[in-house]
Structure 1
Amino acid sequence: MTSSILTMKPLFAVCLLLFVFLGGRPVSAQEHSLSSFVSMMENYCVDCHNSAEAEAGLDLEGFGTDVQKRIVDWDVSAWEIIAKRLRGRQMPPAEATSRPTEAQYVAALSELETMLDQKAIANPQPGRTDSIRRLNRTEYRNVIRDLLHVEVNVNDLLPADELSHGFDNVTVGELSPLLLNRYLGAAERISRIAVGGQQLSPGGFTIRLPPDRTQEHHVQGLPLGTRGGTLIRRSFPIAGEYEIQLRLMRDRDENIEGLNGSHDIDVLVDRELVHRFSVSPPKTKKGWSKDDTLVDANLKKRFRVTAGQHAIGVTFPIKSASLSETRRQPFDASFNRHRHPRKSPAIFEVSIVGPFNPEGPGDTPSRRSVFTCRPETESPEEANRCARRILSRLMRLAYRRPITDGDLEVPLRFFAQRFESDGFEPAIETALSAVLVNPHFLFRAEKDPASAEPGDVYPISDLALASRLSFFLWSSIPDQELLQLAERGKLGHRDVLQSQVRRMLADPRSRSLVGNFAAQWLYLRNLDSFRPDMRRFVDFDDNLRKAMRQETELLFQDVVQEDQSVLNLITSQKTFLNERLAKHYGIPHVKGSHFRPVSLAANDYHRGGLLRHASILAVTSYATRTSPTIRGNWILENILGTPPPPPPPNVPSLKEKVAFQKVTVRQRLAQHREDPACASCHNLMDPVGFALENYDAVGRWRTFDDGIPIDSSGALPDGQKIDSVAALEAGIMRRPEMFVGTMTEKLMTFALGRGIEPTDAPAIRKIVNQAADKDYQFSQIVLGIVQSTPFRKRLAL
C-alpha cells in the first residue's frame, strides 16, 4: 500500500485521503464538499490513473461509485511524504500539461495537513531514541572541558565518529573493545592533567602545519608585526621546564623552502617572548650554500612553563622588504617550490616535550575544580570522607543525576588502594580515571518506566530532559542550575523551560551549535578534504580554506547570538571577511587577518547569504570544475528539504570534455539526461544548480568559462524559472516555510540523535507555523523543538 501511495499523483492522494478519513460516508455542511474533490481528481489525476493506463496500479475511472472498495486503510507516513511534495509544488510534475492553480494547491494542502495534524493530536507518535547512546568525540571534549576545566585534543585520543542522517551523534550506541581501550587511555591522561599528577617520564605532543598553508602574512591571535607560524593552546599539568623543537618546511628534495638570508623565529608563551631563534643558510667562501638540510637541526630550547592552560606561539618577526617588480599581480598563495615558491621560510612542525625538573602541579582551574576539600589529617578515614565529597560532586555532574552509595563504591575502592601507597592526590587521580570510564559517564541512558506497556507514550523525566537539552544546545553536560531544576522536578514547567533555553542560547557554550551542528548540516567539515586542481585555481591554499569556513560559521553565529530570523541565512546583506577572503571575492578596503562584518547592501559583489559563500560553493564542486548536479542536490536536500530519489544502479558517469572540443557542463549534462535512467533525478537537480554557475569551483564570480559565456538559467522543482543566484534566493523566499521547515528537521535530527520520521512532521509543522509569527527567529525554532512531542516524550517498547 505504501509504495503505491508514494508514486500516485498528489491531488488524487488528497482526495483519496478524504474518502478514507471520512470513511466514505456522506459529508456534512461543515465538512468539505465531495463534488469539488471529484472535480479536482477528474481534472488532474484521471489522465494517468485510468483503466487504459493505471499508473502505480491505481484505476480512477468511475472512482466516484466504488472508491471505498479500493481502499483498505491509509498510511500516515505515505501521506506526509505526499504533503511534502505538494508543499514543494513538485507534483504533478512541472512539465505536466495541466497543473492546479496556486489557490488549489493551498486549499488542498491546508486540508491534508489539518487532518494529519488532528490525527497526530489524537494519536501522538513521539518516536523513540536509542536507550543507550555513547558520547561522541565532540561531546566528550566538551564534557571534559566543562567538568574538569581541561582542554584536550580529542583527535589525538579518540577516533572519528561515523555519520548517519548527516550527523555524528546518531550511530553512537556501541562501544567496541578497541574504542574502549582508547577511552581508558584518554581517562588516564585526562585525570593526570586535571590533578597535576607526576609522570614517570616526560611526555609530549607534536603539531604539524598543512603543507599548503601560506605563511607570508599575519596569523590571527599572534602579535602584530609577525608573520606565519602557529598558535597552540595546550594544558600543561605540571610546572617545570619544557623543550620545544621546530622544523621548517621542506620541498621534495628536502631543501628548506624560502631560506634566502637570515631569519628570526620567536617562541612566545601567552604572547610573552621566551626565546628567539635565528636561521640562515650555511656560509661558504662564495656566499650562501644550498646545503641547508641541517639548518633547523638545532632549533631546540627549554623554557619554564607554569601549570595550566597556555597559548604557545611560534612565528617570524616581519622583515621589511621592497615590493616585487613583476609584470603580473603576485599570487596570494605561496607554499611550494614548483608552482608557488615560498618567499620566506615557514614552520612545518612544532614539538613540545616535558616536564623536565618538575616543580609540582601549582594552582590551576582544573585543580581548583577537583580539590574542593582537603583532609585535615593523614588518617585514611579523613581522606575517605574528603574523597567522597570530591567524587560525589564530580560524579553528579558527570553522570547527570543524583549519586547513590552504590555509585561511589568502585571509585572509592580505587581511591583506597592508591592512597595506601601514594597518598591523597594520586588516589584522587586514580578514582577520577574510574569515573571517566564508567558507563554512566560514557553513555546517556533513557529507560522506559516500569509501568509502561509496549506502545505507550510517556513524558521523559526532568533529568533526561536536562541531558537532552544540554547536549542539544551545548553538546555537553547540564550545568549546576539546569541539574538542580531537574532534580526538583521544575524543569518541565513551560515558563522555566523557556527561561533555561534562552539562558543557554546566551551562554558561550551555545557556540557548539556553530562548530558542531552547522558545520555538519552545511558540509563545512568537508572543506578539510577539498583539494582543487592547482593548475586551474592557482591562488588556493589552506589560508583561504580556513577563511571560507570561518565566513559561514560567523554568519550562522551572528544569527544565533543576535536571535535573528533564520531567513537571514539566505538573504543576508552582510558577510564576514578578512583580507584574504575579501581579496578572493574582489571586495576592496578589507585589511588584516581578523574577520569583521562587511555590509554589502550598497554594492553588488555577488555575496551575502549561504548560497553565495565560497565554502558552500567549494564543497559542492569537483576539483576541476563546478557541478550543477551536486549543487542542485545540496539545495534540494539541505535548503528545500525535498531530496531527489537515490540514483538507480549502474548509472553511467558524466563524460568529460573531448579533446579539441569545447563543450560546456550544461551541454554534457544535457547529453547525460538523454538516458531515461538519469533523467528522473537530473531533471530535478540540474536546473536548480545551474543558477549558481556564475561561481566557479572555488567560489569566485565569473561570467565566462573557458571563453564561453555562462548560462545560469534554470528552474526550481515547482517550475519557477530562475536565471541567477538572486532569482534562486527569491524563489526560495516565495515559500520561506520550505527552508525553515528543512532547517527545523535538521535541528531536530541533531537534537534527538535520530533520523526524522514522517510521523514527526506534525510537530515540525507546528514549530514552523508558530515561529512564523516571530519572523522565524532562531530562538523560536529552538523553543518549538524543545517543547515538541518528539523532544519531550518517548514511545515505550
Structure 2
Amino acid sequence: MNLATKVRLAVWAVAGILLALPSVSAKPAKETFALGNLFATHCIQCHGKDGKVKGKVDLLKYSEGADLTEDSELLQAVLDVIDFGEMPPEDEEQIPLEVRDSALEHLQGLLKAALAEDAEFPVTRIRRMNRFQYANAVQDLLGLKVSVFPLPERMMRDRSGYFAKAIKEGMPDTLTVSSRPLGKSGLIEPRLSGVGPFPQDLRAEHGYDNQADHLSLSPILMEAFFKLSRTIVRSSTFGPKSVGIWTDFFQAPADTQKTPQILSERLRAFLTKAFRKPVGKETLTRYHSHALGRIEAGVPFEDAMKEVVSAVIASPRFLYLYDSLGEEATEPVREHFLASRLSFFLWGSLPDGELLDLARAGTLSDPKVLEGQVDRMLSDPKLKRFCDSFPTQWLQLDRIISSVPDEKVYPDFYYAPPSYRTTMDMMMEPLLLFETV
C-alpha cells in the first residue's frame, strides 16, 4: 500500500467519525478473504488461545467467525499493525506477501463498511468558530485576496508558492518558508489595513482549539466580534482590488428599477453561504428590508451592503458551528450539516459552492459522491489550512517558543549561524514532513 493510500484511509477513518450520518448505510464487505484462517495461523497464539491475551487484544472469537465490523477501533488497529509490518513479530512466521495484500484489501473494505454502519457517532456540540476558522471563513465568504488579520498560530509561511503545486506534483527539492512567531517578516503580508485579531483562543488540555467548552461567546466577546466586523468593512483597503465578490455583490445595479429584485438574489446566495444552509424567508426579509431601507434613504449601495456584511459576520448564525443529525432534521438540512462538517474539518472554513450545490441536491451523502468530494478537497490548495492547524496542535509545537534551555549548554537553540536559530528548524521540519506525507 503506497503512502497516498495510507493518508486517504486515515482521513476516511477520521471523516467517518466526524461526518457519518445515520441515514447513510453500507452493506458489509463480501467474504472474499478467509480472515479467520489468517488469525488462527498468525495471531491467536498470542491473542486469545489458551487464555493468552497480549496487549488486551483477543482475536480468538474472530478466528472462529465472529464479525470484526462490530468493533471498528479493533478493526483499524488490526489493519494498521499488519500494514506497518508490526505483526506478526519478527521472530514469528510472517504472512506471505500475497496473503498480506489480500488481507489488507479485505480489512479496508470491512473498515469502510463498519464506519458507514456505525450509528453511534456523537452530534457536534454547539461552539463558535475559533480565530483561525473565523479568518478563513471571512476570507472565503468575501473572496478576499489578502488576509483578514495576522495569525501567528499559522507558524509556517509559504514564501515560494510550493504548496499549490505540491499537492498535485509532490514536494519540490527546494522551497522557501519563514516563521511567523519567530520572525517579524513572517507576519508582514498583504492584509486588510487597520484590522487586528481578537485574542487567541485557549486550548484544551490535549492542545486542540476546537473544544466547545473553550469556545463560548460572552457578551464582551460578542461586542468584540461586532466591532471587528465593522472594522473589516471600513478598512481603507476593503474595496474592488481586495474583495473578490465586489462586482457581484457590492457594485450597484445598472438598472435601479430592479434594485429590490437584484438585492434579494444577491442576499439569498450570500446568506446561504455564510450560514451554511438554505436561508429562510423571514431571515432573508430582515436583511433585505434593512439594506433596501438604507438605499432608499440615500445611503450609497455599496455602503448599505457593507452594513449587511458587517451584520452577517457578527451574527451567531455565522459564528456558531452546530448541527443536528437527529430525526427532527430534514434531509436537505442534514446534507448541509454534512457539507459544513466536511469543510471545517479539511479546510477550516465554509463549504464552497460545489459542496452546497450537492447538499441542496441531496446527493452529498451518497458514498461515491462523498468520496469524490473528499478527493477533490484533498487536492485543493485550501488543504494548506489543515496543515497549518492540525500538526502544530497535535505536536504542540508552540511550546518550543516558550522553551528556555540553558544557553551555555544549547547555544544553537537561540542562534545558529548562518541560519536564524535552531528553534525555527525544530518547528519548520516537522511541519514540512507532515505536508510531504
TM-score range, shorter chain: 0.5 to 0.7
In structure 2, distance between residues paired with 1:369 and 1:509: 23
In structure 1, distance between residues paired with 2:93 and 2:73: 20
Amino acid at match of 2:265: R
Equivalent position of 1:395 in the other structure: 271
1:494–1:538 distance in 2 versus 1, CA, 3 Å: same
1:506–1:432 distance in 2 versus 1, CA, 3 Å: same
1:163 maps to which of 200, 203, 219? 203
Output the TM-score relative to the length of structure 1: 0.34
Report the Cα offset of residue 417 of structure 1: 4.8
Equivalent position of 2:369 in the other structure: 496
Report the Cα offset of residue 478 of structure 1: 1.2
Cα offsets for 1:708-741 (capped at 9, x unmatched): xxxxxxxxxxxxxxxxxxxxxxxxxxxxxxxxxx
SS of corresponding position for 2:312: helix
In structure 2, distance between residues paired with 1:392 and 1:514: 32
Report the Cα offset of residue 451 of structure 1: 5.0
Output the TM-score relative to the length of structure 2: 0.59
Is 1:558 equivalent to 2:431 in the alignment? Answer: no
Is 1:487 equivalent to 2:364 in the alignment? Answer: no
1:123–1:482 distance in 2 versus 1, CA, 3 Å: closer
In structure 1, distance between residues paired with 2:291 and 2:134: 24
Report the Cα offset of residue 511 of structure 1: 0.7
Report the Cα offset of residue 178 of structure 1: 2.0
In structure 2, distance between residues paired with 1:40 and 1:405: 61
1:182–1:103 distance in 2 versus 1, CA, 3 Å: farther
1:421–1:474 distance in 2 versus 1, CA, 3 Å: same
SS of corresponding position for 1:470: helix
In structure 1, distance between residues paired with 2:217 and 2:247: 32
Spell out the pairing of 1:508-547 with structure 2 (5 A cutoff): 508-541=381-414, 543-544=420-421, 545-547=423-425
Spell out the pairing of 1:403-418 with structure 2 (5 A cutoff): 403-418=279-294
SS of corresponding position for 1:190: helix
In structure 2, distance between residues paired with 1:499 and 1:414: 40
Equivalent position of 1:429 in the other structure: 306
- 8 Å Cα contact 2:325-2:334 kept in structure 1: no
Can you give the 5+ residue segments of structure 1 that lack an aligned partner in the other structure?
Answer: 1-28, 46-75, 89-98, 105-109, 197-235, 239-306, 310-363, 453-457, 560-797
Spell out the pairing of 1:272-291 with structure 2 (5 A cutoff): none
Equivalent position of 2:219 in the other structure: 177
Equivalent position of 1:447 in the other structure: 324
In structure 1, distance between residues paired with 2:426 and 2:273: 37
Equivalent position of 1:368 in the other structure: 247
Amino acid at match of 1:157: P
Equivalent position of 1:783 in the other structure: none
- 8 Å Cα contact 2:336-2:360 kept in structure 1: yes
In structure 1, distance between residues paired with 2:116 and 2:308: 50
1:41–1:487 distance in 2 versus 1, CA, 3 Å: closer
Amino acid at match of 1:190: I
- 8 Å Cα contact 2:332-2:362 kept in structure 1: no
Amino acid at match of 1:548: M
Q: RMSD in angstroms over aligned alpha carbons?
A: 4.5
SS of corresponding position for 1:401: coil
In structure 1, distance between residues paired with 2:258 and 2:394: 52
- 8 Å Cα contact 2:123-2:324 kept in structure 1: no
- 8 Å Cα contact 1:373-1:389 kept in structure 2: no
Report the Cα offset of residue 460 of structure 1: 8.2
In structure 2, distance between residues paired with 1:524 and 1:367: 38
In structure 1, distance between residues paired with 2:228 and 2:352: 23
Report the Cα offset of residue 139 of structure 1: 0.9
Spell out the pairing of 1:192-207 with structure 2 (5 A cutoff): 192-193=234-235
Cα offsets for 1:312-362 (capped at 9, x unmatched): xxxxxxxxxxxxxxxxxxxxxxxxxxxxxxxxxxxxxxxxxxxxxxxxxxx
- 8 Å Cα contact 1:166-1:520 kept in structure 2: yes
Amino acid at match of 1:152: V
Q: Determine what percentage of the aligned residue pairs are the same residue.
A: 31
1:133 maps to which of 86, 107, 127? 127
Amino acid at match of 2:301: F
In structure 1, distance between residues paired with 2:271 and 2:265: 10
- 8 Å Cα contact 1:527-1:549 kept in structure 2: yes
Can you give the 5+ residue segments of structure 2 that lack an aligned partner in the other structure?
Answer: 1-35, 54-69, 82-88, 95-102, 152-195
Cα offsets for 1:643-675 (capped at 9, x unmatched): xxxxxxxxxxxxxxxxxxxxxxxxxxxxxxxxx
Report the Cα offset of residue 388 of structure 1: 2.3
SS of corresponding position for 2:411: coil
In structure 2, distance between residues paired with 1:403 and 1:375: 26
Report the Cα offset of residue 517 of structure 1: 1.2
Cα offsets for 1:213-261 (capped at 9, x unmatched): xxxxxxxxxxxxxxxxxxxxxxx237xxxxxxxxxxxxxxxxxxxxxxx
Structure number with higher strand proportion: 1
In structure 2, distance between residues paired with 1:140 and 1:173: 12
Amino acid at match of 1:124: D
In structure 1, distance between residues paired with 2:273 and 2:353: 8
Report the Cα offset of residue 555 of structure 1: 2.2
SS of corresponding position for 2:274: helix
In structure 2, distance between residues paired with 1:525 and 1:405: 46
In structure 1, distance between residues paired with 2:129 and 2:282: 23
In structure 1, distance between residues paired with 2:363 and 2:285: 30
Structure number with higher helix proportion: 2
Report the Cα offset of residue 487 of structure 1: 0.8
1:122–1:538 distance in 2 versus 1, CA, 3 Å: closer
SS of corresponding position for 2:127: strand
In structure 2, distance between residues paired with 1:131 and 1:448: 11
Report the Cα offset of residue 141 of structure 1: 0.8
SS of corresponding position for 2:348: coil
Is 1:237 equivalent to 2:233 in the alignment? Answer: no
Number of residue pairs aligned between Structure 1 and Structure 2: 313
Spell out the pairing of 1:246-261 with structure 2 (5 A cutoff): none
SS of corresponding position for 1:365: coil
- 8 Å Cα contact 2:249-2:266 kept in structure 1: yes
In structure 1, distance between residues paired with 2:282 and 2:250: 22
SS of corresponding position for 1:492: coil
- 8 Å Cα contact 2:340-2:350 kept in structure 1: yes
1:515–1:175 distance in 2 versus 1, CA, 3 Å: same
- 8 Å Cα contact 1:400-1:477 kept in structure 2: yes
Report the Cα offset of residue 168 of structure 1: 1.1
In structure 2, distance between residues paired with 1:122 and 1:486: 18
Report the Cα offset of residue 391 of structure 1: 2.0
SS of corresponding position for 1:427: helix
Spell out the pairing of 1:441-480 with structure 2 (5 A cutoff): 441-450=318-327, 461-480=334-353
Equivalent position of 2:139 in the other structure: 145
- 8 Å Cα contact 1:391-1:432 kept in structure 2: no
SS of corresponding position for 1:461: helix
Equivalent position of 1:323 in the other structure: none
SS of corresponding position for 1:422: coil
Spell out the pairing of 1:355-754 with structure 2 (5 A cutoff): 365=244, 367-368=246-247, 370-371=249-250, 374=253, 376-377=255-256, 382-419=258-295, 420-450=297-327, 461-541=334-414, 543-544=420-421, 545-559=423-437
1:389–1:177 distance in 2 versus 1, CA, 3 Å: same
Report the Cα offset of residue 472 of structure 1: 1.4
SS of corresponding position for 1:539: helix
Report the Cα offset of residue 387 of structure 1: 2.8
1:533–1:367 distance in 2 versus 1, CA, 3 Å: farther
Report the Cα offset of residue 491 of structure 1: 1.7
- 8 Å Cα contact 1:383-1:424 kept in structure 2: no
Amino acid at match of 1:498: E
Report the Cα offset of residue 128 of structure 1: 0.8
Report the Cα offset of residue 365 of structure 1: 3.1
